[in-house]
């Protein structure tokens, strides 16, 4: 853990030094990479702080339904989910899905992923019926839009099975 802490401090120092020479877009892309690294390390609170900055920047600088706003919302929502802030995560995933449906092709992967992400929120909220409904919807979307051997279909099948297992357990 101490090695990770030293690396984190070093990375933040490097980021702060580079941020002085980066333009605003490069700075936010660097923040996005940093947030991903922090999230991968389980440092969700730190990742959320960066993701909130990125989302605010995109909302200020991009058109209302730009896909990057949806991606920023989805990334922030995933961090919220890891911190068990399911209601906030669900609202962001729903908003991201609406953006993706307006701005992307109907077969874009982001759409199918958001159905699964919302199902995961309902799983955390212990709403088995909505969890199952959304995971089935994600599976249906993936079967219609992806190659039959795409691993995302297997992941959706697993999520549906897990939702069935949760819904069949007595409360």
Report how far apart the first and last C-alpha atoms of the chain are (Å, whole number). Answer: 38
Note the pLDDT tens digit of each residue in 115-139: 999 999 999 999 999 999 999 999 9
The HSE-up count of residue 114 (CA atoms within 13 Å, CB side) is 27
Note the pLDDT tens digit of each residue in 1-26: 677 778 777 777 776 666 665 567 77
Q: Which residues contact 47 (CB under 8 A, 6 or more apart)?
A: 35, 36, 38, 39, 79
Dihedral angle over CA of 133, 126, 38, 1, nearest 10: -140
The pTM of this model reads: 0.83
């Amino acid at each position: 853990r101490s090695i990770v802490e030293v690396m984190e401090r070093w990375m933040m120092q490097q980021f702060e030094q580079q941020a002085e020479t980066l333009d605003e877009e490069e700075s936010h892309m660097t923040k996005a990479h940093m947030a991903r690294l922090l999230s991968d390390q389980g440092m969700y609170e730190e990742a959320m702080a960066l993701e909130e900055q990125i989302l605010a920047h995109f909302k200020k600088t991009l058109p209302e339904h730009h896909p990057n706003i949806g991606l920023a919302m989805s990334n922030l929502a995933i961090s919220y989910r890891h911190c068990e802030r399911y209601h906030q995560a669900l609202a962001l995933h729903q908003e991201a899905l609406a953006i993706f449906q307006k701005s992307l092709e109907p077969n874009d992967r982001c759409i199918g992923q958001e159905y699964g992400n919302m199902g995961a929120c309902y799983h955390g909220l212990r709403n088995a019926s909505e969890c199952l409904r959304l995971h089935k919807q994600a599976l249906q979307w993936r079967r219609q839009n992806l190659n039959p051997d795409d691993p995302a279909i297997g992941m959706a099948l697993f999520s549906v099975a897990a939702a069935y297992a949760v819904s069949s357990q007595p409360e």
